[in-house]
Structure 1
């Protein structure tokens, strides 16, 4: 997988690291020194702030501010090296087709309110979890005060072949989730790996359970070839092609939404 560190904040409706950018930009992005593009009419409509005292609720679940923490499946900036020009979840055909935007759009349709959303690629946690300072690295994310956090990681974690590595990953993951949970008590959702790995997925389940989160198993999606981007279009790079395509992204969003409704 190819992973940048990049953050976007919106209000809606394998391994390259980029400098971290962050800002509340309402369906706009910071692209290094490049100015953010002007919002289209639909973007401007989507960027209308939430009305005071009008919470976004999915049943008993508050979802006015949603934080997505993932890897390239969640967010990947342009990379000519692998033939990827998007700045959204790899390898959806368009921003609105990645699982983040599909899920947020569904929540908006169900609740009648548009949540604020922050998206970040934290593949640096996956690759260097033992050295990851959650409070420092996620300071701006914590300041966002999310009511719902979607954690979609695991694919880039190196093979956990020893008791020591398994314990270290579990401890780091629990610390990450507890840091998020201690910040206003948001509901936390953790999903399994798109490419199933029993060792990693078992630890994801354990850590999620420890913080009272919702675990969503998406491992079965990888058994259906039609969920891969390579089944929808041709890619020069096999790594990009192995990511979920539009159908796979939609299935991930639906699985998470089902989990939220439980």
Structure 2
């Protein structure tokens, strides 16, 4: 059930009122028209961000989080999604000036990757047919302690990514976990290689305390505080944009 929806930065009660359809798989969805409705002409290009709380998290009073953007940037403009969009718009060669974009939290896939019905739940997102897909997951996947779980995670990542290649040829970027994992990150890298995607290793960011939100401002909830802050978000955005710019693949 969708409980937290924004369209062009404004709360909405339904997709129908905007003529938009999307699968009911998450509580956090952000859909934007080019430049959030500003007057710059759209290139017609589309970007899809699939992630978890680092990508998008709605207000949660129980943990003291009041934002409706990537946790734990201080403002929406400072999360990695918006920093990336700004950077790409300033790169004429990227072709992504004033793109249409969607931002979705797919933590349910992370937690239930073995059984999550990808095409059933995400078919309308797949039908969005993005030109650029950013996959930023891994943190909520339980540690892979058996060869079977590693193989299953690898297989399901492949299924997820290939679903977007059936009727299109998007540029795909897969990043490693912000909280690095010696078991999950190599699988994310291999899954990227399997489909010809860019892989961005951000594991070094976790070793710098300055990249955490707790280093920038007092945050009572340890979980929120352990997310990337403004500096960490910028580092994530810079790493992904740099990979796109250089055309770096596994």
TM-score of the pair, normalised by structure 2: 0.84
* 1:195 is the counterpart of 2:179: yes
Please state how far the C-alpha of 1:122 moved relative to its aligned partner.
0.3
Shift of 1:21: 6.1
| Residue 104 of structure 1 pairs with residue 85 of structure 2 | yes
Determine which of 31, 37, 53 is the counterpart of 1:47.
37
C-alpha RMSD over aligned residues: 2.5
3-state secondary structure, aligned to 2:48? strand
SS of 1:215's equivalent in the other structure is strand
Q: 140, 164, 168: which one pairs with 2:124?
A: 140
Cα deviation code 1:10-69 (max 9, x no counterpart): xxxxxxxxx336989333343679x99xxxxxx9964147757x45xxxxxxxx200000
Q: How does 1:23-38 map to 2 (within 5 A)?
A: 25-30=7-12
CA contact (8 A) 2:49 2:135 kept: yes
Distance 1:50 1:181 in 2: 29
| d(CA) in 1 for partners of 2:171, 2:101 | 14
Call closer, same or farther: CA 1:44–1:118 in 2, change over 3 Å.
closer
Spell out the pairing of 1:1-12 with structure 2 (5 A cutoff): none
1:93 corresponds to which residue?
Answer: 74
Secondary structure of 1:129's counterpart equals coil
In structure 2, how many angstroms separate the alpha carbons of the residues matched to 1:72 and 1:158? 16
Cα distance change of structure 1 residues 154 and 261 upon mapping to structure 2, 3 Å threshold: same
Q: Which runs of 5+ in 2 are unaligned?
A: 19-32
With normalisation by structure 1, the TM-score equals 0.81
- Once the two structures are superposed, the pairs formed by residues 138-177 of structure 1 within 5 Å of their partners are 138-177=122-161
Tell me the number of residue pairs that the alignment of Structure 1 and Structure 2 aligns: 228
1:120 equivalenced with 2:110 (yes/no): no
Aligned pairs for 1:17-28 within 5 A? 19-20=1-2, 25-28=7-10
For structure 1, which runs of at least 5 residues remain unmatched after alignment? 1-18, 37-42, 56-63
Residue number among 173, 187, 211 corresponding to 1:227 in the alignment: 211
2: CA distance, partners of 1:245 / 1:203: 26
User: Aligned residue for 1:73?
Assistant: 54
**Structure 2: how far apart are the matches of 1:157 and 1:80?**
24
Instruction: Indicate if the aligned counterparts of 1:194 and 1:218 stay in contact, CA closer than 8 A.
Output: yes
Q: Distance in 1 between matches of 2:207 and 2:148?
A: 30
Given that 2:56 and 2:68 are in contact with CA atoms closer than 8 Å, whether structure 1 keeps it comes out as yes
Q: For residue 12 of structure 1, what is the aligned residue in structure 2?
A: none
Shift of the alpha carbon at 1:208? 0.4
